[in-house]
Chain A
Amino acid sequence: MIALVANPTRAVYAALIATLAIGWALVAFDGGTFTLNDLVGIQQRSAALGIVAVGQTLAILAGSLDLSVAYLISLVSLVAAETMAGQSSNILTAVVVALGVSALVGLVNGVVITKLKVHAFIATLGVALVIRGVLDHLYDGPAGRVPVDFQQLGYARIGPIPVAAILWAAVAAGVWFLLRRTRFGHRVYAVGGDVEVARLSGVRTDRVVIAAHVLCSLCAGVAGLLLASRLGAGAPTVGTDGGYDLESIAAVVLGGTALAGGRGGVAGTVGGVLLLAVLDSVFNQLEVNSFFKDVVRGVVIVVAVAVYARRTGRRAS
């Protein structure tokens, strides 16, 4: 048990398996069954949050954080759906434009944080407010139309596996490779661990933080595209309704990544997202009140981080 808890990534997967087992038992006891379909549903639901959380992991590892992702997701869903306007021929343009907007927002976040030296919390909160203002000003409700071809992204399956889950896995694998196997990844850990030390060792810390923010926003953009394909249109509230800003940060931390930066990784985040999704799914099966779900989610997040803090604290002392 101690060996399990010693490594937060392993701990979150242990918790995931335990939750699945207990959930399975509870649902069975309740007279229901937990089928392959439910497992697929879990992947389906968690894909959007998962993609955002993978991006958020990059920002947090670099010692930053991004509160603007929820509004960015809404903005991207609208930009994409309006550019597509129901025509399959516009899909490529729409994806390029949507990702371009995302990258731009990430660039602004990163530049404000590094060059203007504004705390990431305030910088990304400010950018979130700006996007919110633009959204409220331009849109009253859902807009644009997504062609049927593009809706495949949200609904199609290859065998039993949803395309959305494959997309999530691809994004996670890409970021994992970036973090663990490239120079950029090592720099992200160095900057998140100690900016001064990284700077003195010759890392251009500003560039690393900006790149992390651009990638984080791109992930949010991909999630926005996914949600647009699922809704069949763009919606100004799709990002905030999902609570993707705080929820993604919670998933990252649940996965064992330190909020202060420099420690953790994508594998833990994927586990954290799956854990939240399994909890959600079990509660749905048991038809638990949605407010009770929030209470449990809050408790789980705090308890998990308290457990990690115990371990790392002991090792340090």
Chain B
Amino acid sequence: MKRAIPIFVVLAGLLVAIAAANPFFLEPAGFLAFLKRVAPLAILAAGQYFVIVSGEFDLSVGSLVTVEVVVAARLIDGDEAMTWPVLVLLVVIGLLVGLVNGLVTTKLRVPSFITTLGAMLILSGAVFLWTGGAPRGALSQGFRVFGREGVWAVAILVLVVVAAVLLMRADFGRTLVAAGDNEKAARLSGVRVDRVRVFAFVLSGLSAAVAGILLGGFAGVSAQVGQSLEFQAITAVVLGGVVLGGGRGHVVAAIAGAFTLEALFTLLNLHGISGALEYAVQGVIIIAAVAVGGLRLPSLRLSPSKV
């Protein structure tokens, strides 16, 4: 957890700054609205964390989110009775895409950057081939409630966080980190490296499905709903001090990274730096955060008894 401390300090600072600029943020309704907005990215970050800590990337989650939303809108088409069957189908799609990503990466030994880049092209191509270029249909009220009602979104977020923490405390978590840290050593000590990695990709696919369900309700149906979410999720995870290449970092810190990113957007908006320059500020802060994290690491290592 030592690596994770800076991100919580930064997050706390940002939250205080937001509260100072906008007191409404401290009221339950204001904070709930913030949580609702964070939930999809936080869930994606949790999924991405599993993949990254095992030493891989998942670039397909953004287009997978788009696929989930577009498929849901087309199949439900305003029909309330279709809500639950479609929800199940969406979860199955997420699991399946994750499984294929994992199997191609481990069994065919394609670098995950390429596997998931290919999946990204295939998924977005396929879904618009199916719908004829633009999303069609509409979501039902029963579907939209998950992303629209703050209580639902927060409940799902809490569930995901608890599940992620439990998973990382179980044998799976330890073997996953071991596989990412030193694949050969893990293999020699009996870890089924391929199996835990495939499972990590499946979890990432699942997280994209859940995030898609929330975003469908929150943001509505569009072809851009998942755009560049993969980069945001990876950024969030890295902000949380998780090392690209695997083996180091904590899942709660990765989720805190998503909160930090969203808090940053909120703060920039409050100060009128919206739209255009927001990207520039975001870029500088990401580089600075990772650079500072990297420079701080050695001193922490030298004095393990402190902190």
Contact = CB atoms under 8 A, between A and B. Distances in A.
B244 A121 contact: yes
Contact of B287 (A112, A253, A301): A112
Contacts of A36: none
Nearest to B57: A121
Given A119-B244, A136-B279, A291-B126, A306 B133 contact: no
Given A136-B275, A298-B121, A299-B122, A259 B287 contact: no
A290 to B, nearest CB: 8
Contacts, number: 137
A309 interface: yes
A298 B119 CA distance: 6
Contact of A133 (B117, B120, B283): B283
Contacts of A310: 108-109
Contact of B114 (A121, A131, A305): A305
A125 interface: yes
A181 interface: no
A289 B130 CA distance: 11
Do most interface residues of chain B lie in helix, strand or loop, or is the interface mixed? helix
A294 B286 contact: no
Contact of B284 (A130, A297, A302): A130
B20 interface: no
Nearest to B283: A129
A122 B244 contact: yes
Interface in A96-148: 112, 116-119, 121-123, 125-134, 136-137
Interface stretch (B36-44, B166-174, B288-296): B288-296
A298 B120 contact: yes
Interface string A279-309: 0000000000101111101110110011001
A309 B283 contact: no
Do most interface residues of chain A lie in helix, strand or loop, or is the interface mixed? helix
A133 B278 contact: yes
A260 B55 CA distance: 13
A295 B125 contact: yes
Given A122-B290, A302-B115, A294 B284 contact: no
A289 B120 CA distance: 17
Nearest to A134: B280
Contacts of B287: 112, 116, 118, 122-123, 126-127
Given A125-B231, A292-B125, A294-B125, A306 B281 contact: no
Interface string B62-90: 00000000000000000000000000000
Nearest to A243: B121
Contacts of B276: 133, 136-137
A253 B114 CA distance: 8
A63 B65 CA distance: 31
A159 interface: no
Given A126-B283, A136-B275, A295 B244 contact: no
Nearest first, the 7 A-B pairs at minimum CB distance are A133-B280, A294-B125, A129-B283, A298-B121, A136-B276, A133-B279, A298-B122
Interface of A: 112, 116-119, 121-123, 125-134, 136-137, 246, 249-250, 253, 259-260, 289, 291-295, 297-299, 301-302, 305-306, 309-310, 313
Given A129-B286, A130-B279, 15 more contacts: A112-B287, A116-B294, A118-B291, A119-B243, A122-B290, A126-B286, A127-B283, A129-B280, A132-B283, A136-B279, A291-B125, A295-B121, A298-B117, A298-B118, A306-B110
